[in-house]
Structure formats: structure tokens, C-alpha cells
Structure 1
């Protein structure tokens, strides 16, 4: 691969990182806290590419004023004949992810990813404080599921909660799901709760909704893979949030 091509690819990759950092598409790949690192990496790549391009242009202009010696011509001929340029063709594969980021922003993980995981993951911290006062308490789906399965103080009993997530249809019935990200989309895992009451039965996969309701008391949480049920009081469709993952 020629140096000029390498410089252009480096410039495109830096531009792609800046694009997803500015537009917010980076939230489909990594946590919000990583935005400054994407900005920094994009700026560094663009600066390096510009410096390399300027340096090569100046070098080419200097060489144009003098004749190339025979040894340089021989070296160039050997490089063209022995196929070294051909062995670098695989480097063009770098263009694929660059163009994918620039032209096609893949959607966040959704129902298909959730259906591959048939149980909720035990939380690392099972010590829960009291819920804040109020008629309706807004909670992340992950916290609701963790409290329902592992909170020995039963802090959810008698409390109405508000959850936001997307609908997933399973053999057990409709569920509300959310993907939790520790670092990036590669390590995202699903947390789910069943939705009772029939309001979500006809909604398609991946429909984002905001629901309110109360935990349905159950004694077989372990047998049900720690997937609780929410008795739905209200349900309304909403647009996909800017941050589709919980962290």
C-alpha cells in the first residue's frame, strides 16, 4: 500500500471517530464516559495524517528538482517486480470498517441479542438502600431486576415503579428488556422483566416503551432464572432514547 493511501486512510479513520463522537453514534458502541477519548483519538489521527501528507508533498517537490540516480531506479524496479506491493493488498481491508462507520451506523443491540440470553445475571452488589419517596419511582431496568431477585429487604413491595426499555416476545410472554454495558457493546448483557396485563402483547419486537407498575410477588424466582414480573398499570410507546444502553 502506497504511503499516500495510508495517509488518506488514517485521515478517514480519524474523521470517522470524530463523526460518531459528535453525532452521538458512539453510544451504540461504548459508554458515554468514553467520548473524550474518541475525540482525542480522532484529533491525533487527523493531525498525524495531515503532517504525513504535508511532509510527503514537500519531499516529492524536492525530488522533482533533481534526477533520480540509477540505484533508486533499480530499487523501484525490484520493488515492483518482486511483488511486495501485492502482499500489502490485505491492508485495504482497513477501508471496510472506516466506510462502515462513516456511511452506515449499525443500530444498538436489541431483541435478538436478548433472546440469546435466557436468564438475568446476578448483580455484583446485592446491598440496596431504600427507594426514594414518591408515588412513582423511576428505576433502571437493571436495578429493578436486581432488587426483585436479591433484595432481602423487599424494598419494591407496594411501590409503583417506572421503567424504560424495549419489548421482547418470548415463549413465557412479552418482556421488557434493556442491555447493560460495562465497557462497550461487546460485553453488553440483557436484563429483563415480564410484563403482565396484556398491554404489550401486540407490540412488535424492539418497540421502546415506558411502563409503570408494581412487582408481582413470586416464590420461584430462581426457577424462572430471576426474571421477575411487572403488573403493568400504564404503558406508552416512546422513541429510542439517545443512550440505548444502561451503564
Structure 2
């Protein structure tokens, strides 16, 4: 069995990649949807390489003395490396949540104040949390004024009880996630990490384009618990 440690490790990793990409939507917890074909090809290639390597590997490719001096360390390392692969295969980690969101400081680059395109007709208008924040903080045209908006995200909160509807914004994969959030007023907070859809109206705050305008505020009319979406992240 020792001589199959390497192929077995490749097989586990390949199977784990295929599990999250080919046989479900779990890959959306880690990368954008457009990367799915690359994950499938990579997982299939690893599985094929593992099977080919196992089939071609000779039973005794080295002398006994050489094998005895080198195989123990290599095999132990290979078996240790199977642990994270097994964890991904059997217990894929959840999407990033409130802990990841709270680790990021309220970092807002000098995006610049300007006018935004008009919002679609009809209320409530559905916006991403990131788009709501951009319009609330930077839109000199005040396109949110008088409009009812609908935001969906998960609940985060401060120690003082202030709570937010929050989404993580992903450009490529979970490693580059940034935070978008809106402070919710006039409504009781559900438990942290609960997914909710909030409808309400923009509450102006601070000076446009300055740190005092962040985070944006929404005066809630309704708060509804919803299932976590298949893709929990927003695009920038």
C-alpha cells in the first residue's frame, strides 16, 4: 500500500475538486462561476494522473536498502497530506461569513463623487449591497432619494448592537473577498449569519464621498429570512 501513497493523494485531491465543481455548486463558495470548467478539467486530470501512475508504478522500483532509507519519510508525508484533501472531499468548508466580513476595516478608497445611472422604474428596486453602498456614499445625483430598495445578505453586528446586511464581493476567488454592508435601522436584528432580504429607504448620513457617509444606512420596512443563495458572493 505504501507505494500507492502518491497516486492515492492525487486521487483524493482530484475527487475533491470534482465533487465541488462537477457534482454540485459548492465551488461557488470559493471561486467565480466562470472558473468551473477549469476546476473540472483540473480535477479530471488529477484523477487520470493518479490512476495512470498507480497502474504503471512497478512493485519494486528500488533496492530494499534504498527503499528502506527513503520510503518511510515520503510515505508519512504523503499520508499527512491526505488529511486536507479528505476534509475537502467529506466536509467542504462553508462560504465566508460574518467573521471574514468583520476582519476587514472600513477601507474605502477615494472612489470619487459623481453621478450614477438612473435606477429602474418601480419600487422596490433590487440592488446589490455593494451598489447600494456606492450610490449612498458617492452619488451626487442622489438617485436613492425617495426610492424603496431591496437588499439581500447575511447579518453581521457590532458590539453595541448595530447590525448590518452584509455581502462579500469577490472578483476572482474567496481569497480576494472585500466587504459591502448597509446598516439597518428600525428593525430587530436576526441572529448573526442569518440570510435576510431587507426592504426600506435610504437614510442620508454624513458628507457625500467622505468616511462619515460610510457605512450607508437603510431604514427598514420589512426584514425577511431567506435561504443562503447558491452563489453567496457579489461581483464588483
TM category, shorter:
0.7 to 0.9
1:207–1:181 distance in 2 versus 1, CA, 3 Å: same
SS at match of 2:167: strand
- Out of 105, 113, 117, the residue aligned to residue 100 of structure 2 is 113
Deviation at 1:167, TM superposition (A): 1.0
Q: Which of the pair has more CA radius of gyration? A: 1
What is the distance in 2 between the residues matched to 1:243 and 1:36? 16
Question: Across the two proteins, how many residue pairs are aligned to each other?
Answer: 230
> What displacement does 1:86 show?
3.0
Distance across 1 between alignment mates of 2:50 and 2:83: 19
Q: Deviations over 1:23-66 (max 9, x none)?
A: 2111111111111111110111112222222323xx55xx9xxx
The answer to whether residue 78 in structure 2 is matched with residue 91 in structure 1 is yes
Residue 117 (structure 2) pairs with residue 129 (structure 1): yes
Residue aligning to 1:244: 232
Query: d(CA) in 2 for partners of 1:12 and 1:95?
Result: 7
Moved over 4 A (4+): 123-127
**1:172-227 deviation digits (Å, cap 9, x = unpaired):** 61111111111111111111110010x233x1101110011111012346344620
Q: Does 1:145 align with 2:133?
A: yes
* Gaps in structure 1 of 5+ consecutive residues: 64-71
TM-score by length of 2: 0.88
TM-score by length of 1: 0.84
Root mean square deviation, CA, Å: 2.3
Unaligned runs of 5+ in 2: none
Could you tell me how far apart the structure 2 residues matched to 1:233 and 1:26 are? 34
